[in-house]
A and B are shown apart, each in its own frame.
Chain A
Amino acid sequence: MVFNIARVIKKNIPTVFIAIVQEDDIWIINSKVIKNGIVKKKFSKSFDVQEEDALPQDMSEYLERIQTDYNFAYVSLFLDSTGQGAIYGNTTSDFEKNSVDIKNVTHFDTDAKWSVYASFIDINWIKKLFSQVGIDFIYSPFMVQNFLLEKEKRKKEPILYILNHHDCVTISIFEEADLVFGAFFRTKSDEKLVNSDEIDYWDNEPEAQDTIELFGRDVLIYKYLISSLREYYSNDLYRSEFIEKIVLFDGDEVSPDLIKMVKNNLFMDVELQKVNIHEVICEMSINEAMQ
């Protein structure tokens, strides 16, 4: 009873939802003010990353100012650190099967039969980073992807989803409502692009029939896709039904060539959906806060 009254009152107070997404070395902050379910205000700002271990001074001030202006504020962050992923199952043995040490990760299962995890150290590091400013939600890219695909129709056949962000690629394979395979790759320039073993392996692949060339990130996306598929089909852990469809949530810019390549070489249907990851983070935080 009391919760209901509180909830009703909360809905009538202007609440600001701040979505923080990092792209390259820039913090991009998008804020929305919601009152009674209606968007009253929208504003954004970007800040250059200055230090490794601290937020830029002006960004802290900016965020603090917003939070003094609005009594109710929710700060959400898109997590793009390495060492995170998603697996089928939720028990310690499930984690072990996937070579993940459960003691090193923060994880939760999404009321379904699969779990999302991230490095414990990374989560704590972020908490520390935002200790002055405050943070409410940390979203895994797999949850972002899940949020997007919930609107899709579920089919019996497995579907592969790709979430393409400026700095990372998230791949998951769903059978109906359950994730059965998940993989996360960072694509920033100062990190190792690919595992050297895998490069050799790809050399044995049959030559592409078309003379399509990929540039920049698209190469990486393609390579990560192949590596994920390989892993999925070869590893006994997965059921390995043949995947016919890919849904690509594009938060960056993929070229049509990549899609053609996938269609021709991998014989998979690609559905392209443009998404605004900033918007999605905002939406997710609104949903989670208002429930």
Chain B
Amino acid sequence: MDKSMEKIDSVKFLIYLLVFILITLFMVLFLIVPTIKDYRSSMGVYKTVLVQKLSVESLLKEKKKELLDLRTENKRVIASFMHTFTTKNFIAYAGTFFNAVSLVEVEKKGYKDEFREYQLRVSSQLKSPTKFYDFLEGLNRYENIVQADFPIHMESNSSIIKSSFTIKVYDLNATR
């Protein structure tokens, strides 16, 4: 006969209750509390790192947009930089303004620059130099980045103007 549930001694009950409470307390204090501390701190770290990552992410997004916009804005210029310079094409271009076009590559003159230099010699039928103006303006729209530079020689013989000027072509590989 297990009568233990019918007559419960107060003292025994209190002792059992006390032990139960002690065990619960012990478990909570030494197991739960440190675990929750750990949890909280790791959650805090996580939140911080998350915010950092998100801000970096949004910064990257901005930068990418910036890059994209730059690329679209400067499409033509970028393409011009990339385009390989062919003397043939340039001679053809110059040919639209002048007759007897010749293009000769010239040694770079000393100072460092990312250009390849050419000497362009042309002759023009017309007495007026308007073609030159058009030519120079047109350079800015040419398929390469090209700068016309001094020295410029112009001579007129009867009805022909012969001129030569330096053409500097921007070349990405030139500095090497």
Contacts and interface: CB of A to CB of B under 8 A. Distances in A.
The answer to whether A and B touch in the complex, with CB atoms under 8 Å apart, is yes
Interface of A: 64, 67-68, 132-134
9 contacts: A64-B3, A67-B1, A67-B3, A68-B3, A68-B4, A68-B7, A132-B1, A133-B1, A134-B1
Contacts of A67: 1, 3
B132 to A, nearest CB: 115
Contacts of A132: 1
Most buried by B among A67, A68, A132, A134: A68
Given A64-B3, A68-B7, A133-B1, 6 more contacts: A67-B1, A67-B3, A68-B3, A68-B4, A132-B1, A134-B1
Interface of B: 1, 3-4, 7
A68 B2 CA distance: 9
Nearest to A132: B1
Contacts, number: 9
A132 B7 CA distance: 14
Contacts of A68: 3-4, 7
**Most A-side CB within 10 Å, residue of B1, B3, B4, B7:** B1
A111 to B, nearest CB: 30
Nearest to B9: A68
For the complex of A and B, the 9 pairs showing the least CB-CB separation, nearest first, are A134-B1, A64-B3, A68-B3, A68-B7, A133-B1, A67-B1, A132-B1, A67-B3, A68-B4
Nearest to A65: B7
Contacts of A64: 3
A68 B8 CA distance: 10
